[in-house]
Structure 1
C-alpha cells in the first residue's frame, strides 16, 4: 500500500510510542512528538484510517492496524540501519544521526538498504540501543527497566538511550555513559566502575537498563 513520507513518519511515531511502554498514543501526544499542529494530526489520522493503516475514534488514542504496523516496522528498520551506518562508516556521533536518517530513509532503495545492512553485519540494535526490526517484521528485545523506575541497587547494562533530545545525549556522553555501560542505581545517580555519577536532568526518563531478573516487559 503506497504511503507518503509524511504518513510514514506518523506511522513510525505511533509505533515508537508503545515500543518501550504500553499506553497507546493520543492525538495530542502525536502532535507533540512530531512537532505539528493538532489540526494537522487530525487530518492525517483521518487519511491513515481511511487507508486501513490506523484505528481511531474521536477523543480516543490512535493505534496501528496490522497493515500499519507492518509499514511502521519497515520504516523503523530503514531509519535504524541508516543511523547505524552513519555512526560506523562516517563517524557521526549518536546525537547527530536522527535528522540525517529522517531524510535518507525515504531515498534509499530496498536493494541498497539490504547491502548496507549486510556490510554492517546485520546489526541487532542501532547506536541508541533501539532494536532494529528484522526484514520479516520481528523485533527482539530483552527485559528492561526505565532508570526512573528502577529500584535502588538495580544492576544492569544501559540498554537504550532515547534520541529525542540531542543535548541530553551529549550530556549523557559527557558522564561516560553509553549503550552497554554496566551501572548500579544509587541515590543521586548511578554507580559506574565503582564511582557515583550524577546524571543530568531528564536522563532518568531517557535511559533504559537491562533487567537481569526478567521481571520487566519482554
Structure 2
C-alpha cells in the first residue's frame, strides 16, 4: 500500500483538483505557486516528487494534471475539508465565512473513523455551506451544468449552486443580501459596475451584486 501523503502533498493535490473543478483550463506551475503562496522552485520539486509517486502528470513548463490515483487522493482530502466545514457550521456555531482556514488545519488531522462519525451525525450531507459538492466515500462527486453569475446574460434565471469561500467579506455581504446556495435568482441588468438580480420571492426587489461577488457565484445553466 502506498504511504499516506504528507499534509503538503495533500494541499498540492487539493489545489490542482480545485483549479479545474469549476473551469476547464489546467493549472500551471506558476499558478500553483501563486495559489499556495510558495516559491516556483518549491513547486518544481514537489511536482517532481508527486510525479514519481504517480499522482500527477507533468512535462517541463507544462500544465500539471492529476492521474487517476492523484484524483482519488485529492477527492479524499476535499471530502474531509468540506465535511469539516459543514460540521463547524452546523454543530459548532461557526459562520460560513469563518470555516475555510479552520478546515485547512483540521483536514490533515481528522481520522477516517472520526470523519465517518461526522458524516453520519450530519446525515450524509451532499454539499457544504458554500454549495460545493461533498465527495462520497467511494470518490464519486455530483455535478451539474453551471455558469458564473458574472457571465450570465440579462434575463438568465437559475439557482445558486456554489459561492467561493476565498473572500470572507464577500460571504458576509451576500449573507446580508440573503443570497446563498439554493437561492433562486433572475438577472435583470448587467453593467460594468454591477449585476442586478432579483432573489427568490422578493416581489421584484433588486439586489446589485458587485463584479467581485458576481465572479464568486456559480448558478445553474
TM-score scaled to structure 1, two decimals?
0.93
Superposition deviation, residue 200 in structure 1:
2.7
Alignment-derived partner of residue 154 in structure 2: 152
* 1:196 equivalent in alignment to 2:206: yes
Q: Deviations over 1:141-165 (max 9, x none)?
A: 2221111111211111111001111
Query: Are the equivalent residues in 2 in contact too, given 1:175–1:199 (CA < 8 A)?
Result: no
Query: Are the equivalent residues in 1 in contact too, given 2:13–2:70 (CA < 8 A)?
Result: yes
Aligned pairs (5 A) from 1:19-30: 19-30=21-32
The whole-number CA distance in structure 2 between the counterparts of 1:186 and 1:39 is: 47
Query: Are the equivalent residues in 1 in contact too, given 2:150–2:211 (CA < 8 A)?
Result: no
The whole-number CA distance in structure 2 between the counterparts of 1:66 and 1:142 is: 21
Alignment-derived partner of residue 84 in structure 1: 86
Show structure 2 runs of 5+ residues with no match.
Answer: 190-194
Alignment-derived partner of residue 169 in structure 1: 171
Superposition deviation, residue 176 in structure 1:
2.0
Aligned pairs (5 A) from 1:1-218: 1=2, 2-187=4-189, 188-192=195-199, 193=202, 194-211=204-221
Pairs aligned (count): 211
Show structure 1 runs of 5+ residues with no match.
Answer: 212-218
Secondary structure of 2:21 counterpart: coil
Superposition deviation, residue 94 in structure 1:
0.8
Q: CA RMSD in A?
A: 1.1
Secondary structure of 1:18 counterpart: helix
Alignment-derived partner of residue 214 in structure 1: none
Extract structure 1 runs of 4+ deviating beyond 6 A.
none
The whole-number CA distance in structure 2 between the counterparts of 1:68 and 1:12 is: 9
